[in-house]
Structure 1
């Protein structure tokens, strides 16, 4: 299991199983490429150059970023010119951590690993850091809650703790930067009580996930994602009020 696979199961079991079985490949989105560009910079000059070379769709024939991606360079500059952001992002980059959790092998990738400093860090890009985001389960909340980043950081902290045999979690920090002009930025921490709640919820959900993944349970369709829209076969007429249910 991985954090991305766990989140995918929560979003749509049917789409996740289709991906795992090689039956469907999600299309690459502009937002995904945007985030990958910024993360490639974080990995270092060589990785950044390699990413640019392998992603020609980002650039014009003159070698300039297309307009919709030019903001990414401003976001990088905003981080580079902030002493706290650069301090928090000091450490080994793209470190794999593995451990057994809830009876299942898990793997995670830490953006920045600094055990000597007592922390690990993750770089997140978002449309806005301050705007409230709607989540169907908890209502309006921060982007950190809405996009499952608390669960991700809790998982990574627990996996790293078990892998190393340490007695306590490293401090998880998020360096957030917004897709605004000029970009907003923040260094964000998460309290341990909330992380413990997230881990409890993950443990409770794992039985269903494993039954779908390995136990032959039929995956449920969300009927909202790209996979469900692409494979939907209508078998009934619905009332207009059901369109937004």
Structure 2
């Protein structure tokens, strides 16, 4: 199969999704193979929280460039700009909060010194065990060997139940950010030859917003990064085979897609119903 040249214009297209694995796609397969495959092949479109997605993209586009931010607002003004009443012509409340988040980040010296100087939205590619991967770096500073990512979150201190560890874990682990940072480190190294340190600048969706600068320098963090790459290596061949139609995806039986498409084929014993 001929390789498609990656660009800002085609990065999120269906053809690129099928050719290159990404962290977001991998995480989709981890949650439910059947749902991930249905989404990838456009057989099913998840009912995402559009407002939350747009608010997050509002923050990211602002720090990408003035042109990118203006283009983003123009493309989504019907959803983001009020068209009636006293607030006509102004940002709707969720995007007022997003603007507050922007201002909160912008006011921090650490963010100004570390994030703002970097090259924005840098596409990186590579291969893990012969399988092609792609990533897009929010802010890359090769001359100082580090990269930064912006994350928006409801509450930094909320715990998320991890069924494998049987305990609550922080949002960084719950949302797969160890995996993202580990893969980005590897792809930057393959693309540019630099061994870069990852940083996250997180801003909360609260009013007022909280802010946090996150590093991955502890022994536990290094172990989590290594474990994330081990997980990728363990599952990526199966997911690649599913994408190529060689393997049949498994159903989790509990996600939105599975609930929508579940069929009654037999009775389940009352005592055998699974609980979490």
Task: Normalising by structure 2, report the TM-score.
Answer: 0.82
| Structure 1: tracts of 5 or more residues without a match | none
| Structure 2: tracts of 5 or more residues without a match | 1-20
Residues 64-103 of structure 1: matches in 2 within 5 Å? Answer: 64-90=90-116, 91-103=118-130
The residue number in structure 1 matching 2:211 is 185
**Distance in structure 2 (CA, Å) of the matches to 1:70 and 1:213:** 40
The worse-fitting range, judged by mean Cα deviation, of 205-214 and 108-117 is 205-214
Would you say 1:50 and 2:71 are equivalent positions? yes
CA RMSD of aligned residues (A): 1.8
Contact 2:82 2:90 in 1 (8 A): yes
SS at match of 1:121: strand
The residue number in structure 2 matching 1:59 is 81
Residues 162-181 of structure 1: matches in 2 within 5 Å? Answer: 162-166=190-194, 169-181=195-207
Contact 1:101 1:159 in 2 (8 A): no
Would you say 1:26 and 2:46 are equivalent positions? yes
**Distance in structure 2 (CA, Å) of the matches to 1:132 and 1:88:** 28
Question: Please, which of 8, 20, 23 is the counterpart of residue 3 of structure 1?
Answer: 23
The residue number in structure 1 matching 2:6 is none
**Structure 1 residues 27, 118: CA separation in 2 closer, same or farther (over 3 Å shift)?**
same
How many matched pairs?
243
Deviation at 1:136, TM superposition (A): 1.9
The worse-fitting range, judged by mean Cα deviation, of 59-68 and 3-12 is 59-68
Would you say 1:137 and 2:164 are equivalent positions? yes
Shift >6 Å, 4+ stretches = none
The worse-fitting range, judged by mean Cα deviation, of 113-122 and 227-236 is 227-236
Contact 1:122 1:174 in 2 (8 A): yes
**Distance in structure 2 (CA, Å) of the matches to 1:133 and 1:26:** 22
Would you say 1:36 and 2:57 are equivalent positions? yes
The worse-fitting range, judged by mean Cα deviation, of 196-205 and 178-187 is 196-205
